[in-house]
Amino acid sequence: MTSTASRPLSLLDLARVREHESIAQGIGRSLRLAQTADALGYRRIWFAEHHNMPAVASSATALLIQHIAAGTQNVRVGAGGIMLPNHSPLIIAEQFGTLETLFPGRIDLGLGRAPGTDGVTTRALRRDGTEADRFPEDIMELSGYLTGHTRIPGVHAYPGRSTRVPLYILGSSLYGAQLAAQLGVPYAFASHFAPQMLEQAAHTYRENFQSTGSLQGPDARPHFIAAANVIAHDDAAIAAGQRREAEDGWIRTMLGRNKTLSTEDVTQLRDHPAGQQVLGMLSKTVAGTQDEVVSWLDTFADQVSADELILVNLAPDEDVQHRTLELLAPEPGGA
């Protein structure tokens, strides 16, 4: 048994803020985890755009990326993703062009089509929900700004022009797979919380990938990234306990809106259809010892022919999160 997975490993961090914790403390924890990942050789760390969620501190995604990139040395830092319908392509090109100028060769730009929030908050963002219909056109406009081939004569991104920040499409359905294949760009599937269409999306993406006319250029090749939740520890019982605690937290978040669920409530909900549905969202989760987790990750990657795995560090306790990173470290000496 090897000590690390056979695919490159990256991280998705939601910059979570725990109960009775300040937002600054939550961001500080994300920075410490990023510094550990940087030292251990992880490929990239992405942050996701969400709005009006008290437990998630990544709403101003470009600012958080800047903070993490400034506190690390080698790891790529990016958006997983920017919800493009919430923004004008020019603004995103300027923001990520600035990041690429400050941290050359270290910035990624993943793009999603969902609003990253609820309908009321979408209206507060001055959006009416129809913006998603322009997603493909907005990606093309954004790519034009970043490559220096603007699609609007006389309009350029400064900074941003010719920075060629790499684009990724994110999704949890066949739509994203088809679009990423059509555009000839990498595709990341959100199987860490929406695993239902994973295998079909992976197949659709590879079968339909078009290198001709790719936004990456004529040498483009398909690159499929699959997401999974992980907890690794020297003690399998601790890993299992952390998984149980994390699952209970998801049940509280998903089913306890506008009310407080007791421990007994959560226990009962685990066997209720609603609770089972929530736990089903987390079916692509592994918790265990180093050998157990590495074996599961390799099997998971083989099933969908993943080129890369992006991991959500699901452990509630920070020391277990750091130990997870150490045990799964891509480079020798991390365990």
Reply yes or no on whether the pLDDT at 333 is more than 50: no
User: In angstroms, rounded to a whole number, what is the distance separating the alpha carbons of residues 199 and 45?
Assistant: 24
pLDDT tens-digit map of 279-328: 999 999 999 999 999 999 999 999 999 999 999 999 999 999 999 999 99
At residue 328, what are phi and psi to the nearest 5 degrees? -100, 10
**pLDDT reported for residue 2:** 63
Q: Residue 259: which pLDDT band, with cuts at 50, 70 and 90?
A: confident
14, pLDDT greater than 50: yes
**What is the arithmetic mean of pLDDT over 201-223?**
93
Q: What is the pLDDT of residue 121?
A: 80
Q: Which amino acid is at 110?
A: G
> Residue 203: what residue type?
H
- Tell me the residue ranges of DSSP E strands in 146-267: 167-171, 187-189, 224-232
Structure tokens at 178: 């088809």
Residue 320 CB: number of other CB atoms within 10 A?
Answer: 22
Report the pLDDT value the prediction gives residue 332, as an integer from 0 to 100.
Answer: 52
Dihedral of the alpha carbons of 19, 12, 169, 141, in degrees to the nearest 10 = 70
Token pair recorded at residue 257: 């809106």
Q: What is the pLDDT of residues 139-193, one digit of tens each?
A: 999 999 999 999 999 999 999 999 999 999 999 999 999 999 999 999 999 999 9
Q: What is the pLDDT of residue 141?
A: 98
d(Cα 135, Cα 224) in Å, to the nearest integer?
20
- Report the percentage of the chain scoring pLDDT > 70: 98
Average pLDDT on 11-24 reads 92
Please answer whether residues 243 and 231 qualify as being in contact, where contact means their C-beta atoms are separated by less than 8 angstroms. yes
Q: Give CA–CA dist 8/43, Å, rounded.
A: 7
Kindly give, in sequence order, each residue whose CB lies less than 8 Å from that of residue 251, ignoring residues fewer than 6 positions away. Answer: 261, 266, 269, 270, 275, 278, 279
- Give residue-wise pLDDT tens across range 34-78: 999 999 999 999 999 998 888 899 999 999 999 999 999 999 999
Per-residue buried b or exposed e for 78-96, using 16+ beta carbons within 10 Å of the residue's own CB: bbbbbbbbbbebbebbbbb
Return the SS3 of 166: coil
Percentage of the chain beyond pLDDT 90 is 82
Rounded Cα–Cα distance for residues 33 and 301 (Å): 24
User: What is the reported pLDDT for 335?
Assistant: 39
pLDDT in tens, 214-258: 998 888 999 999 999 999 999 999 999 999 999 999 998 888 877
> Do 98 and 161 meet the contact criterion of CB atoms below 8 Å apart?
no
Going by pLDDT thresholds of 50, 70 and 90, the confidence category of residue 334 is very low
Return the higher-pLDDT residue of 159 and 115.
159
